[in-house]
Amino acid sequence: MKSEASDATHLDGNAAAGALSALFAVDITSAIARCSGCGQTGVFADTRLYVDAPGLVARCAGCDGVLMRVVTTPTDTYVDLRGLTYLKVPNE
Amino acid sequence: MGIVSEGFGGRRRSRADLPPGQYLTQDFPVLSAGPTPHIRTEHWEFVVTSESGERYRWDWAGLMGLPAEEITKDIHCVTRWSKLETSWKGVSLDTLLADVETAADFAMAHSYGGYTTNLPMEDLLDGQAWIAYEYDGEPVDPEHGGPARLLVPHLYFWKSAKWVRGLVLSDSEDLGFWETAGYHEYGDPWKEQRYAGD
């Protein structure tokens, strides 16, 4: 199967700063993220962020795999981090 | 008839036609959780996998060879826009599933690009669901799910999987991409089943 993906719709991971600041005590966009799919490791701000969707979806810039999903309902916020092996955050 | 013209509102439908919490839009917003796959029809396939593992496959020519239907339906996105009387052409899932040996109660739709969404089998049959390949008389744009998308207009539109490539039938219900992240497992817009627990 041959396919190509075009992609003018995503933002960079910095655009997640506002939504994530409500969830985490540190700035996740400057954290180092490792993709559990391809192993690409880099600053979260370099991920591809899709916001024109029912939730916020961050994808790996290397393999397009889903790194993180955030869905905000009227009562709760769902955070799915299955696509991340880790987030590395400095202690200070 | 009064002396004041009612103008061009003759076919306009009222707000009462909208499910709760929805607003009317005239354009066709593009929602996407990932990059848009561009699938050439010569490489396209649609595969139904039954609960026993048997595979039923159609290529593009096979899909085009099946009886097509013109479909005009209202669509309702969980992000609150609704669009009335959208026009599609496609093949009914009644036709595609007619020769599939199955007693499954559930289906998972799979798409090019990895998207999934779960549906009860009974919502895919009896004239309720199609594989749509034309919108407004033109091939469905890739950004709207072309070359072919699932169309299940009586449920929120996230169930109408863009870039659909197959159905996996099952006796038990699994949850799809949005359903595992807080969205409702069924998604009836008239009952406002947006989120899990609604």
Backbone angles phi, psi at B104, to 5 degrees: -65, 150
Domain ranges for chain B: 19-26+39-191
Distance CA B97, CA B89 (A): 18
Chain A residues whose beta carbon lies within 8 Å of the beta carbon of residue B79: 54
Instruction: Confirm if B198 and B192 have CB atoms less than 8 A apart.
Output: yes
Q: What is the mean pLDDT of residues B101-112?
A: 98
Specify burial of residue B80 (Cβ count, 10 A radius: 0-12, 13-18, 19+): middle
Q: Does A7 touch chain B (CB under 8 A)?
A: yes
| Residue A9 pLDDT grade (very low, low, confident, very high; cuts 50, 70, 90) | confident
Q: Which residue has the higher pLDDT, B147 or A5?
A: B147
CA atoms within 13 A on the CB side of B136: 7
Burial A69-81 (b: 16+ CB within 10 A, else e): bbbbbeeeebbbe
Query: pLDDT tens digits, residue range A25-83?
Result: 888 999 999 999 999 999 999 999 999 999 999 999 999 999 999 999 999 999 999 99
Contact A71 B183 (CB under 8 A): yes
Distance CA B186, CA B105 (A): 13
Which pLDDT value is given to residue B8?
46
Regarding an ipTM greater than 0.95, the answer is no
What's the pTM? 0.91
| Residue B2 pLDDT grade (very low, low, confident, very high; cuts 50, 70, 90) | very low
Measure CA B46 to chain center.
Answer: 15
Which pLDDT value is given to residue A3?
43
Question: Which residue in the set A2, A4, A57 is minimally distant from B33, CB to CB?
Answer: A57
- Spell out the residues 6+ positions from residue B29 whose beta carbon is closer than 8 angstroms to its own: A52, B77, B79, B81
Query: pLDDT tens digits, residue range B48-69?
Result: 999 999 999 999 999 999 999 9
Scanning the structure block, which residue is given the tokens 């969404």?
A: B117
Residue B6 reports pLDDT greater than 80: no
Chain B residues whose beta carbon lies within 8 Å of the beta carbon of residue A71: 178, 181-183
Instruction: Confirm if B74 and B153 have CB atoms less than 8 A apart.
Output: yes
Chain A residues whose beta carbon lies within 8 Å of the beta carbon of residue B182: 55, 71, 73, 76, 78
- CATH number, span B19-26+39-191: 3.90.420.10
Q: Which residue has the higher pLDDT, A24 or B8?
A: A24
| Residue B132 pLDDT grade (very low, low, confident, very high; cuts 50, 70, 90) | very high
